[in-house]
Structure 1
């Protein structure tokens, strides 16, 4: 290992970072406005110094949560397709998407500022998410279980609409109902 190569974090430090990331995601998801870093540390059961050691700024924490959520969505598409038929994989994926949307509630101001400044490449995220949706749609088209004329953009627009009018957790039942209606519309029509 050369001096220029960064050292890998110790296993316990990586575990602590991942725990902080999980807790921050949960806190952001349930918050109506941006929680303080102190509130996130308290919820994680650590001191504020520990949180700042892993995430020196609010922006670094928001960036980590955002990137983790996008990775879960993109990898989630493949993982769900490996274990479920395409329609069921898409339905489960929409729940992941709903969590991602809800998580943004607690970090919205910081996230918007980071997108505006170019710290987060929103266009790249959009491309990655549309590719994940396409992967599921392509699998469903191949099996004949999902309509061929629906695009990833159609699905994304529908999801944004659903989660705008029926935000979990307070409207989880309504969001679930609307998702089921949308997914029923994705089944190919059968001619008799």
Structure 2
């Protein structure tokens, strides 16, 4: 479908999006829309015309990363070990969330929305991408059948947001992810007494 916007509107959109990507990388989901407008050389109204909400801006900024995660899920779907494939994909999502500070906020579900998954384009894409991985892992008995993709994305978003201001967010997020996957139990036979 051809883009029917005027050439100047397309240029403004591209410029705003490029600036927003840089600003979100530095400041996360709280990047100033006014600062984005200023750097892009447009008015705040122009930014809001292209991106009526902060979530719309974050979704646009995250679109390429989310597409890469969709492709990665598709590639992992043929792996023999369904649990390892699901965990590898979840780890990749978390790594993206930590590296691209606005992605976690873009994936966060809005509980006030009538359909919190499908009203969120990023989350809907990842929901669709992860469903086969989770289904296979559940069929293999590697994951509780009651676990949903929404549960897993919410967990990842929580970890990413909780570690955003840590001295080394990636290391802290990885540790929390591994703890969540392993659970709180000590290894059998090797744990300390009383734990």
Do the two structures share a fold, i.e. TM-score over 0.5?
yes
- Structure ranking higher in helix proportion: 1
Q: 1:184 to 1:8 in 2, by over 3 A?
A: farther
Q: 1:184 to 1:132 in 2, by over 3 A?
A: farther
* TM value normalised by structure 2: 0.56
* TM value normalised by structure 1: 0.57
- 1:159, 1:93 → 2: CA distance? 8
Which residue does the alignment assign to 2:102? 103
Following superposition of structure 1 onto structure 2, how do residues 119-134 of structure 1 map, counting pairs within 5 Å? 122-124=116-118, 125=120, 128=124, 129-134=126-131
Which residue does the alignment assign to 1:60? 52
Following superposition of structure 1 onto structure 2, how do residues 139-150 of structure 1 map, counting pairs within 5 Å? 139-140=136-137, 147-149=142-144
Residue ranges of structure 1 left out of the alignment (5+ in a row): 186-192
Aligned partner of 1:78 among 70, 73, 89: 70
Cα deviation, residue 29, structure 1:
4.7
Residue ranges of structure 2 left out of the alignment (5+ in a row): 80-84, 184-195
- 2:73, 2:66 → 1: CA distance? 12
Residues 1:138 and 2:132 are matched in the alignment: no
- 1:93, 1:104 → 2: CA distance? 9
Residues 1:159 and 2:156 are matched in the alignment: yes
Question: For 1:103-143, what per-residue CA distance to the aligned partner results, in whole angstroms no more than 9, with x for missing partners?
Answer: 27999xxx9xx996x7x96453297254443243235557x
Residues 1:24 and 2:23 are matched in the alignment: no
RMSD of aligned Cα (Å): 4.5
Cα deviation, residue 39, structure 1:
1.8
- 2:104, 2:89 → 1: CA distance? 25
